Amino acid sequence: MANVAGNLGVGGQIRLVAELRWRILRNHLRRKNSKLDLIGLIWAAIFSGIMVIGLSFAFCWGAYISISTGHFGWLVLLFWSIFLFWQVFPLFVAGFGATFEFRTLLRFPLSLTAFYLVGLAYGLADFAAIASICWLLAIAVGAGIANPALLPAVSAILVLFVFMSTTFERLLGSWLERLLARRRTRELFFGLFILLSVSVQFIRPLITRYANGSSPSSVLRFLPYLSPFPPSLASRALAAAAGGHDATFLWSVTGILAYIGVFSALLWRRFAAQYRGEELSEAAAPARVASRVNSRTDSSSDALGLFSPQVAAVLRKEFRYLSRNGFVLVSLLMPPILVLLFSSQFGGPHPSVTHRGISPDMFFPGMMGYLILMLMTPAYNCFAYEGRGIQTYFTAPLGFRDVLLGKNLMHAGVLVFEVVLSMLVLALRIGLPSTPVFIATIAAVIFAVAGQFAIADWVSLSFPRKLEFGSMRGQRSSGVSIWVAFGVQILLAGICSLILFAGRWTNSPWLPAEAFVALAAASIAGYFATLDVLSGVAEKKKEILIETLSR
Amino acid sequence: MTDAAIVTQKLTRRFGALLAVDEMDLQVAAGQFFGFLGPNGAGKSTTIKMLTGLLAPSSGRVQLLGLDFSSHAVEVKRQIGVVPEGMGLFERLTGAEYLNFVGRMYGLDRATTRQRSEELLEFMQLADRPKSVIADYSHGMQKKLALAAAVIHGPRILFLDEPFEGVDALAAGALKALLGRMTERGVTIFLTSHVLEIVERLCSHVAIIHKGRLVAQGSLEELRAGTRGEEGRQTTLEEIFVSIVGQDGSERPQMEELSWLM
C-alpha cells in the first residue's frame, strides 16, 4: 500500500460533519418534489427568525428588569423556559428537513474523544440550540445593560449553562434512541407522549374548577422545589453575582459544574457504547422452532363477503396495519378526549372558558366539524405506510379503484367509530342537539367525508410522502397535500356554515337537514363516479408513487 | 417463434435526456428459462418494470402470452408473477398474512389461498415464525417470501429480479429445483442476476443488454458459438458476457490509474 489516511483533527472533522449536513439538506431540497418543501422551509425560517428575535427582546428586557429592580426570582423563569425549550423542542422538529444518522460516522477513523466532541458539537447545530443560545445572549445583554460589572460573571454562567444544556440534550437524545430502538416501545412512547400533550390541556379547567383560578404566584410557589436543578442554579448564580453574594455564586457555579461532570460522564459512557458498535436494531433473535400449525379447512363464512376479494383483501390489510401502528392507534383516543376537553371548556353547566355554556345545537355541529377536520387529514396521504408494498397493487390483476375503495372504506369505518364514540361523550357531557340539527350534522358529515375522499385520493396519488411506522419524528405529509387538505376543509366548513345559518335566518329548522341530505347523496354519487377516473390517475402516477414510497 | 411468451417491439424508455432502454426487440418462447443480463445501469430493471406493468414505456409494445399489455393489463397480470426490485412486500404484515393478501388480490378463493400459503411457507422454511412481521425477517427470508408471493396464483410467466440474492444455499437449491420443475411444466421464467454461474446453470437462453440496447440474444450454445474461447475448453458465460459488454474496452477498469493502491 502506497500510503494511508492522514490525521485530520477534531476541528476538521467537525467542519466536515457540518458541511455534510448542509449538503444532505441542499441535495434533499434539489429533488423535484421538494420545491414546495423549500418554500415551506423559507416560510418556517422567516417565522422562526421573527420568533427568535422577538423573544430575544423579551428575554433581554426580562433580565434587565429583573436585575435593575432586584426581582431576581424572575430570572429562574427565564432560565427554565430556555432549558425546557432546548430539551423538548428537538423531539418535535428533528425530522423537518433531511435526516442524518450521526452514528454512520463510526465507519471513519475517529478516536473516541473525537467522536464524543463531534457528537457534542453536532448538538449545537439544531434550531433549538441556536435559538436558546440567542436568548441566553439576550439575557447577557439585558444583565449587562442593567449592571455592566456583571458581564464577566454572566458570561461564565452562560458558557457553563450552554455546555450543560448541550451535554444534557445529547444525553437525553442518545438514551431515547436506545430506549426507543424497539418498534413497540417507540410506538407506545409516542402514543403516551401525545396523550400527555393533550392531557396538559386539562390543567387549566381543573385549576379553574378546584383552585379558584390560576395566577402567576401559583407557578412561583412551585419554583423552590426546582432549586437543585441547573436552570435554578444558573439563575441563583446570576442573582448572587448581582447581589454580591460570592459564596452563593460559587456554590451555584459549582453545582452547575457538578451537573456538567455527571452529564458528561454519562454521555461519554453512552457514546463509548456506540463507539464500540452497540447494536440497537430490533431484528428478532433466532426463534425457537414453533410447532407447526396444522392446516385447517376454511369453513368459516367471510365477514367481508359483501365485497370483491380484492377490496376485502385491502380492507383486511388496512385493518392489520392500523392495529400494528401503535402511534396511530393511540392517536385514535384523541377525538373523544378532545370532545371531553372542549365540552368542559365551552359547554355544560360549568364551562371554564365561557361564562355560559354553548347550547348543544351550536356545540354539536362545531365539534363534529372539528373531528372531521382532524380525522380526515391522514386520507390526504393514504399510501404513506405502504412502503415497497405499493408495487403489489400495480403487479396484481385489479383496477386501482378496488385499492382506493378498500382504503376509503377502512378510513370511513374508523370515522364512524370515532364519531359515534365522540357523540356518546357529548351526550353524556352536555346532551344531544335537537333532531333537525342532529340529522343535518350527520348528513353534513357524510357530505364532507365523501366529497373529501375523492379529492384526498387524487392528492394521495399525485403527492405521496412515505411515513415510517410508529415514528413521530419527521412524519409529515407533503406540503401540497397539507395545503389542499386545509383549503378543501375551509371550503367545506364555509359551505356547511352557510347552510346552517341559512336555516337560522329563514327560521326553517329542517332546511339544513334537507340541503345536507341532498348534498350527501350527490357527494356519494360523485365519489363513486370519480373512482374510475382516479384509477387512470394511479396508472399515470405509478412511477412517482413507487419511487417515493419504495425509497 | 410461434408460441412466444414475451415479445417486445421497439420497446423504449426515456428518463428525461437519459435513454434507459432503446428500441428493444425481445422474444422469449413459452417454457424457456431465460436469463437477462447486463452491467449495472444497463436497463435490466427498467425492462422488467415495463414488462410487468410497473413502468410505462415511452414507446414500443409489450406482448405477453399473445396479449398486448397496454390494452389487456388485468388479463396479463393475472398470468404473471413478479419478484420486483426491492421485493414489494408489505412489511407490517406477517408472512402468512401477506401471502393471504396476495392470493386474494389475484382472485383466489379463501380456502385455496390459505392452503397454498401454508404449503409455500412450509416449502420456503418460513412457517416457524408465524407471528413475526416481515420487517423483522432477514433479507434472505424476505426474498423467499417474495418468491412465494410471486407463485401463489400459479403464473404462466415468472419475472425474477435477482431472486437468489441473500438466500441461503439450502433454500437456493430447493428454489432452483422448483423453478426447473415449473419450466418443465411450461412456465416461462425471466430472470436477471449478476451471478453469471447461476444463470449459466439454470437458463437455456440468454439476452444481454448494454447501455439500453439489446446486444446479444440466443441460446447459450448460439452465444458460445459466436465467442472464441481457449481451445479445448467450453467458453463460460462470464467470458461471453465480458467479450460482448467489454468489447469497446470502456467497461474494463483501468488498473494503471489505481497504481497508488497496489
Q: What single string gives the DSSP state of each residue in A475-511?
A: ----HHHHHHHHHHHHHHHHHHHHHHHHHHHTT-TTH
Please report the residues numbered 196 through 255 in chain A whose beta carbons come closer than 8 angstroms to any beta carbon of chain B. Answer: none
Q: Which residues of A touch B97 (CB under 8 A)?
A: 317, 320
Write down which residue in A275, A300, A320 finishes a domain.
A275
* Domain shared by A347 and A262, yes or no: no
Closest of B101, B92, B207 to residue A325, by C-alpha: B92
Q: How close B239 gets to chain A, by Cα (Å)?
A: 30
Would you say residue A315 has pLDDT above 60?
yes
The answer to whether residue A290 neighbours chain B at the CB level (below 8 Å) is yes
**What is the domain partition of chain B in residue ranges?**
1-79+203-250
- Determine contact: B189 vs chain A, CB below 8 A: no
Residue A289 contacts B where some CB pair is shorter than 8 Å: yes
Residues A323 and A265 in one domain: no
Residue A64 clears pLDDT 50, i.e. is over it: yes
Using the Cβ of B117 and the Cβ atoms of chain A, whether some distance falls under 8 Å is answered with no
Chain B interface, best mutation among A319, A395, A550, by max B CB count within 10 A: A395
Distance between CA B257 and CA A350 in Å, rounded?
A: 83
Residue A352 has pLDDT above 90, yes or no: no
Residue A1: per-residue pLDDT: 43
Residue A406, pLDDT score: 94
Mean pLDDT of A156-176: 90
Alpha-carbon Rg for chain B, nearest whole angstrom, is 19
Between CA A142 and CA A214 the distance in angstroms is 29
Say if CB B60 and CB B23 are below 8 A apart. yes
Does B252 or A519 have the greater pLDDT score?
A519
* pLDDT cut 90: percent of chain A above it: 29
- B106, B136, B260 member nearest A396 (Cβ): B106
Query: What per-residue confidence (pLDDT) applies to A260?
Result: 95
* Positive/negative CA dihedral, A151, A154, A155, A156: positive
Instruction: List chain A residues with CB under 8 Å of B108.
Output: 309
Contact status of B61 with chain A (Cβ, < 8 Å)? no
Contact across the interface for A320 and B135, Cβ inside 8 Å: no
Residue in chain A lying closest to B51 (CA): A395
Q: Please check whether residues A269 and A314 belong to one and the same domain.
A: no
Q: Is residue A288 part of a domain?
A: no
Decide if B16 touches A, using CB distance below 8 A: no
Residue pairs between chains A and B whose CB atoms are closer than 8 Å: 129
Q: Which of A391, A393, A551 to mutate to test the interface with B (most CBs of B within 10 A)?
A: A391
DSSP SS3 for A396: coil
Last residue of a domain, one of A231, A251, A275: A275
Tell me, yes or no, whether A300 lies in a domain. no
The mean pLDDT value of chain A amounts to: 80
Q: What is the pLDDT of residue A32?
A: 54
Query: Which pLDDT value is given to residue B241?
Result: 87
Q: Choose the closest CB to A469 out of B84, B88, B92.
A: B92
Residues of B in contact with A386 (CB under 8 A): 90
Asked if residue A546 and residue A444 are part of one domain, the reply reads: yes
**Would A299 be classed as within a structural domain?**
no
Interface of A with B in 449-478 (CB under 8 A): 469
Q: How far is CA B220 from CA B2, B217, B245, in A?
A: 20, 9, 16
The answer to whether the beta carbons of residues B160 and B81 sit under 8 Å apart is no
Contact between A183 and A329 (Cβ < 8 Å): no
| Chain A interface test: which of B14, B62, B83, B101 (most A C-beta within 10 Å) | B101
Residue A139 has pLDDT above 90, yes or no: yes
Contact (CB, 8 A) for B106 and A397: yes
Rounded Cα distance between A143 and A154, Å, is 8
Amino acid, res. A462: S
State pLDDT tens for residues A234-250: 999 998 988 888 899 99
Mark yes or no for CB contact B133/A298 under 8 Å.
no
Residue A135 has pLDDT above 90, yes or no: yes
Asked if B136's CB is within 8 angstroms of A395's CB, the reply is no
When CB atoms are compared, the residue of A320, A539, A546 closest to B93 is: A320
B64 at A interface, C-beta within 8 A: no
What average pLDDT does range A72-78 have in this prediction? 85
Same domain, A333 and A224: no
C-alpha distance from A467 to closest chain B C-alpha (Å): 13
Asked if the C-beta of A169 comes within 8 angstroms of chain B's C-beta atoms, the answer is no
Give the chain A residue whose CA is nearest to the CA of B94: A320
Residue A285 has pLDDT above 50, yes or no: no
Write out the residue range of the structural domain in which residue A370 sits. Answer: 309-550
Q: What is the DSSP-derived secondary structure letter of residue A469?
A: T
CATH 3.40.50.300 fits B1-79+203-250, yes or no: yes
CA-nearest residue of chain B to A321? B92
Exposed e or buried b per residue across B230-241, where buried means at least 16 C-beta atoms within 10 angstroms of its C-beta: eeeeebebebbb
**Contact residues for A111 (Cβ-Cβ < 8 A; gap 6+):** none
Mean pLDDT over A64-83 rounds to 88
- Candidates A298, A395, A396; nearest CB to B114: A298
CB contacts of B111 in chain A (<8 Å) are: 297-298
Whether residue B156 contacts residue B190, with contact meaning beta carbons closer than 8 Å, is answered with no
B residues 139-178 lying closer than 8 A (beta carbon) to A? 149
Query: What is chain B's pLDDT, residue by residue, as a tens digit (262 residues)?
Result: 458 899 999 999 998 888 999 999 999 999 999 999 998 888 998 999 999 988 889 999 999 999 998 888 888 998 999 998 888 898 888 999 999 999 988 888 889 999 999 999 998 888 888 778 888 888 888 988 999 999 999 999 999 988 888 788 888 888 888 888 889 889 999 999 888 888 888 899 999 999 999 999 998 888 888 776 666 667 888 888 888 887 655 555 566 677 777 6
What are residue B189's phi and psi, to 5 degrees? -120, 125
> Is the per-residue pLDDT at A205 higher than 50?
yes
Per residue in A492-510, pLDDT (tens digit) is: 888 988 888 888 888 888 8
- pLDDT, mean of residues A50-68: 92
Measured between CB atoms, does B70 come within 8 Å of chain A? no
Same domain for A334 and A244: no
Tell me, yes or no, whether A234 and A373 share the same domain. no
Mean pLDDT of A328-353: 73
User: Between B55, B89, B118, which is nearest A389 by CB?
Assistant: B89
Q: Express each pLDDT in A432-489 by its tens digit.
A: 888 998 999 999 999 999 989 999 999 999 888 888 775 555 566 677 778 888 888 8
Look at B54 and A296 and tell me if their CB atoms are within 8 Å: no
Region of residue A104 (left: phi > 0; alpha: psi -120 to 50; beta: else): alpha
Grid cell locating A285 = 433473535
What CA–CA distances, in Å, run from A114 to A11, A155, A269?
Answer: 9, 26, 14
> Maximum Cα–Cα distance for chain B, whole Å?
64
Q: Do A325 and B88 touch (CB under 8 A)?
A: no
Domain stops at, among A275, A296, A330? A275
A199 with A339, same domain: the answer is no
Q: Is residue A297 part of a domain?
A: no
- Measured CA to CA in angstroms, residue A170 lies from A72, A136, A188, A472 at distances of 30, 19, 22, 18
Are the Cβ atoms of B90 and A397 closer than 8 angstroms?
no
The amino acid that residue A408 corresponds to is N
pLDDT in tens, A370-385: 888 888 888 988 898 8
> Are A271 and A314 members of one domain?
no
Residue A46 inside a domain? The answer is yes
Query: Cβ separation of B90 and A295 shorter than 8 Å?
Result: no
- Other residues' Cβ atoms within 10 Å of the Cβ of residue A485: 22
Taking CA–CA distances from B110, the nearest residue in chain A reads A298
- Number of structural domains (chain A) is 2
Closest among B69, B20, B49 to A550, alpha carbons compared: B49
The answer to whether B90 faces chain A, any CB pair under 8 Å, is yes
Q: Complex ipTM above 0.85?
A: no
